[in-house]
Every structure is written in structure tokens, then in C-alpha cells.
Structure 1
């Protein structure tokens, strides 16, 4: 654990039922005269978008709705949106939806203030100017993008996911309203919830973990382990939805102040190549990477296992830690996460390419245990050999 550390929380957070109704007032406070709302077509057809536009109308804030977002946002789509809106005098951005919408909002904001191609902005702290003020409104309990300084975009040339990491793209405000998540389908609830759990576990176990993020990570793990199955079982269980949204938010703050690890290093090349939903990819690799990492820090992995529900009585630290592997697999199976082999477009011949991408990924450096390219290849193969699971209904 790092005892010399720096902790950032540049985003103001409003959490609770009905908070989305405040967006008109908050938009004006941020100096917004013309907002660009970035969302997807599904949300654009729901009453959620209406709540936002009505609030903006009441405060006299003009807006344009851009609803061309798709999962795993691509560079060409962000650049197309920039070309469409660059002369519209946009002075406020609103990201409504899951991580794809919020990450796209950050990318469009980057282009609005810097111009050019998006790939020239990939990297850490490379931006020269802040993007227009950004308000993020999550409708899933997964990415934590409403409180992070990262935007993950698929590069259509390299087929890899790339990231812009800079405080200059961090949201100014997160309006976090659990009522917006109650209609989320079971399969998306499961996948995004496991994404948040991965964030919490990797933030807690990675090499650059620090005291504040450790506290947040453990709290998030405990919340998600308890409430994710309940939220999947009954989406209208507002108590479960509230705690899942809180777990996701807390995990986002944790990993934004530390780093992630090999689970993300494997999941992002998979998403870049096959367009696999990010939460599903994380879920698939999490137990296997967790098991691989245990020797690097048995105590921390045992603590994760305890937060997942393991009973340490009469067991060694290592035995408790390895029980965490079983619990992660049981959780994924219970909520209907598919196995690697269940993904119809996966080709084992691509594993060397995926291993190469994982090894080069920035998260590899922070992973709890060092990995070689061969280690990644072995993990891809081992995960693929895992037996299949039964899928839940959407």
C-alpha cells in the first residue's frame, strides 16, 4: 500500500431519488446556455430523457439531443458527432446512460476544445484545456464514469480500446438517481454490476492502492456482493438499486485514484476485437485473474473473499483467499453471466493477438502480480476451457 498518496475528487455528487429533476438549475449554475445531451436511442424513447428536457425547459436552457451512442463507443462515431456539433456553440455537456454515453460525452468534449483526431489525445494528462462543463447521469450501476477522469474509446484502426485520462475531462457534476435504474434488464444489471465489482477488487488489490481507496474498495465489494443478486432478481427493488448505484459510484472513485489490473487488461482487447460488452468481459476473467494474483498478496485477497461472504474461521489466509475464487464464480453463475466459450464470436486463434494487447495495456503495470505475454495467453486459454453456464433471461 502507498502511504504517500494524492487523492482527487473533482466531481460534485448529488445522490438520491429524484435528483435528476435538479438538472435545469445545475445547468444554469454551470453557465450552460446550450447543452448537448449524449445518450442512446433506447433511453431517448423513455421518460428518463423527458425528465431532463423538462427541467432544462423550465430553466430556459437550450439543448440538442444526440442519441447515436452504441456499446463500446468508437473513435469514428465521436469524431462524426464533433463534426456535426462543432459550430453549435455548445457550452454544456450532459452524458445520460451507461459508461458508453458518459465516455462518449468526454470524448466529444475533448474534440470540441481541441479539434483534430481523437487518437492524438489518447494517453495520460495530454490535454491542454478543460472540456465544456460536463454533467453525468448514470442509468446503470457499473462503470463509475460519472466520477472518473477517463474516457475509453475503441480505435477502429487498431481494434484496441484506448483511453483519454485527464482531470480536464472529469465531470463537474454527477446526478446519481437510483430511480433511473429500476427498468434496467436483468442481463445488463448483472454485467454492469460485475463491472463495478471488478473496479472495486482491482482498485483494492493493485500495486498502487492507497488507504482511502482501500476503504472505498472494501465498502463497494461488500455492497455489491449483497445487493447485486437482489437487483438482478427484482429490478424494482429500490433498496437494492440504491445500494448497487452507490457501490458503483464508490468503486469509480476508488479506481480513479489508484488503477485497475489484468482483468481490464484482458477485457478491453476482447471488447475492441469482438465488441463484447465490457461488463461481461470483466466478469468472465475476474475469477481467473483473482486466482492468479493471490500469491502476490494473500492477505488482501483473503479480505476480498471475506467481503464476498467467505468464512475465515479455521482456515489459513491462503485458503480463505482461494474461497474467493469459488465465490466469484458462484456469483457470476447465479446472475447468469456467460462463460468465455458461450460468446459466439470468440475464436481461440485470436488469443495470441488478445494476449499481446493485454500485455501492452496500461493496467498491466499496476496488476497485483507481474504477468508476461505467455501468462496472459495461458489465462485466455484457461478461461476458455471453463465449462459453460446457463444464461438468464433479459
Structure 2
């Protein structure tokens, strides 16, 4: 754990039932005269986006819509949205949806304020000033993108996920209304919830965790582990939905100020190549990377295991932590996460390329146990069910 650190929450947070009704006020507060709502066709179809449009219209806010956001947003999509925004004279962005919509909005804000191409801004602290004001409204309880200061984009030239990592990319406002998550299907509730749990666990176990992020991560774990099965099995349970959205938010603040690790390194490689939903990829890989990382800090991994329901009965920290691996697998099965073998397009012949991508990920140095390309290769094979690997 680090005892020399800096902690940032540059985004203002507004959380509560019916908060969406305050959106028009906030747009005007941040000087928005022409707004681009970045969303996806699913939210249009299910009427969630219409709630936002209605509020904007009632407030007399001029807006246009980009609804072509896809899972694992691509650089080409971001450039298309940017050109549309520039043509329309947009001066404020709203990212409405999951992480893909919010990351796309942040990327478009980067391009509107800095110009160039998306590739120009990959990396750490590349921005010169704040991006075009961006309000993020999550409709899933998973990514935490509404409070993080990075944007994850798939580079189509390499099929690898790249990051804009800079405090200047943080949204000016995160507007969280649990009622907007009520229409989320069980499968998406499950995968995004497991994504949030991965954020909390990696924020707590990574090698640049610090006391504040530890406290946040542990609280987020408790909220997610308790409420995720309830939200998956009864999507109308508003209390569970509220707690999941709060758990995801807190996990986002935690990992935004520490980091993630090997799970995300592998999941982002998988998603970049196969377009695997990010939450599904994290869910599948989490138990195997957790197992691999146990020797780095058995005590911390044992704490996670206890959060997952493991009961200490004389075991060592390492023995208790290993039980956490089983608990993670059981939780994923309970909420209906598929096995890696069940994903139709996975080809083990690609695993060396994926392992190489994992080692190049910006978060690779933060994994608590150093992992080589060969280590990641073995972990991909283990997750696929071909060979074992010793922790």
C-alpha cells in the first residue's frame, strides 16, 4: 500500500431518484447552448433516451443525437461522432448509457477541444487543458466511467484497446439516477455488475493501492456482492438497483485513483480483438488472475475472499484466498456469466497475440504480481480450460 499519493475526484456527483429531471439546469450551468447526446440504439428503442430528450426539451435546450455507439468503441466511431459534433457546433456533451457511450463522449470532447485524431491523445497526461464540458449519465451499474479520468478506445489498426489517461478528460458532472437502470436486461446487469466488482477487487489488490482507495474498494465490494444477485434475478428491485449503482460509482472512484491490473489487461485485449463485452471478459478472467496474484499479498486476497463469503476456520491467508477463487466462480455462475469456451468466436491460436497485448496494457505494471507474456498466455489457456497454471 502506498503512503505517498494524490487523490482526485474532479467530477461533481449528483446521485438520487429522479435526478435526471435536473439535467436541463446543469446543462445551462455549464454553458451548454448546443448539446450532443452520445448514446446507443438500444436506449433509444427501450425509451430510456427519450426520458433525457424530454427533460432537455422541457428546459429549452437545443440538442442533437449520435446513437451509433457500439460496445468497445472504436477510434473510427469516435472520429465520426466528432465530425458530426463539430458540424453541428456542439459545445457540451452528454454520454448516456454504459461505458461505451461515456468513453465515446469523453473522446469526442477531447477532439473538440484539442483537434487532431484520437491516436494523438493516447497515453498518460497528453492533454493540454480541460476537454469540452461532458456530463455522464450511466444507465448500467458497472463501468464507473462517469467518474474516471480516462477513455478506453479500440484502435482499429491493431485491434487493441488504447487509453486517454488524463485528469482533463474527467466529466464535469456525473448524474446518477437509479431509475434509469430498471430496464437493464439480466445478462447486462450481470456482466456490468461483475465489471464493477472487478474494479473494486483490482483497485484493492493492485500495487499502487492506497488507504483511501482501499476503504472505497472494500465498501464497494460489500454493496456489489450483496446486491448483484438480487438485481439480476429481480430487475424491478429498486433498492438493489440503487445499491448497485452506488457500488459501481464508488468502485470507479477507487480504481480511478489507484488502478486495475491483469484482469483488465487481458479483458481489454480480448475485447479489442473479438469485441467481447467488457464485463463478460472481466468476469471470465477474474478468478484466474485473482488466483495467480494470491502470492503477491495473501492477506489482502484473503480479505476479498471473506467479503465473498469465505469463512476463516484456521486456514492460512493463502488457503482462505484460494477459497475466494471458488467463490468468484460461483458468483459468476449464479448471475449467468458464460464460460470462455461458450463464446462463439474465441480461437486459442490467437492467445499469443492476446498475451502480448496484455503485457503492453497501460495497467500491466500495476498488477500486484509481475506477469510476463508467457504468464498471460498460460492464464488465457487456463481460462479457456486447456491447461492449468500454478498460483
Structure 2 length-normalised TM = 0.97
- What is the distance in 2 between the residues matched to 1:346 and 1:271? 11
Shift of 1:355: 0.6
String of CA shifts for 1:1-26, please: whole Å, max 9, x gaps: 00111000011111111001100011
Q: Is the contact between residue 74 and residue 153 of structure 2 (CA under 8 Å) also seen in structure 1?
A: yes
**How do residues 1-394 of structure 1 correspond to structure 2 at under 5 angstroms?**
1-385=1-385
Counterparts of 1:13 and 1:101, CA distance in 2:
18
Q: Per-residue deviation at 1:362? A: 1.5
CA contact (8 A) 2:113 2:132 kept: yes
**Deviation of 1:386 (Å):** 6.9
How far apart are 1:78 and its partner, in Å?
Answer: 0.7
State whether residues 28 and 59 of structure 1, in contact with CA within 8 Å, keep that contact through their aligned partners in structure 2: no
Work out the CA distance in 2 between the residues paired with 1:90 and 1:238.
35
Whether the 8 Å contact between 1:150 and 1:170 is mirrored in structure 2 is: yes
Q: Point out where structure 1 has 5 or more consecutive residues left out of the alignment.
A: 388-394
For 1:59 and 1:122, the matched residues in 2 are separated by 36
Taking the aligned partners of 1:332 and 1:87, their CA distance within structure 2 comes to 44
Task: Give distance in 2, aligned partners of 1:317 and 1:299.
Answer: 5
In the alignment, the residues of structure 1 paired with residue 356 and residue 160 of structure 2 have an alpha-carbon distance, to the nearest angstrom, of: 11
- Secondary structure of the corresponding residue to residue 147 of structure 1: coil
RMSD: 1.1
1:51 deviates by: 2.2
Alpha-carbon deviation of 1:48?
A: 2.4
Runs (5+) with no aligned partner, structure 2: none
Deviations 1:57-79 (A, max 9, x none): 22222111110111110000110
Match of 1:390 in 2: none
Name the CA distance, whole Å, in 1 between partners of 2:240 and 2:50: 25
1:214 is displaced (CA, Å) by 0.2
Distance 2:280 2:54 in 1: 34
Give the TM-score normalised by the residue count of structure 1: 0.96
Moved more, 309-318 or 373-382: 309-318
What are the Cα deviations for residues 201-222 of structure 1, in whole angstroms up to 9, with x where unaligned? Answer: 0000000000000000001111
- Closer, same or farther in 2 for the Cα pair 1:368/1:246, shift >3 Å? same
- Corresponding residue of 1:391: none
Give CA-to-partner distance per residue, 1:262-282, whole Å, 9 cap, x none: 000000010010000000000
How many Å separate the matches in 1 of 2:290 and 2:263? 8
Is the contact made by 1:20 and 1:177 (CA closer than 8 Å) also made in structure 2?
yes
Deviation at 1:334, TM superposition (A): 0.9
Q: Deviations over 1:173-219 (max 9, x none)?
A: 11111111111011101100000000000000000000000000001
- 1:36-85 per-residue CA deviation (whole Å, 9 max, x = no partner) reads 10000111233322222222222222111110111110000110111222
Q: How many residues align?
A: 387
Query: Hey, what's the Cα distance between the residues in 1 that align with 2:72 and 2:281?
Result: 12
Q: 1:313 deviation in Å?
A: 3.0
Q: How far apart in 2 are the matches of 1:54 and 1:194?
A: 32
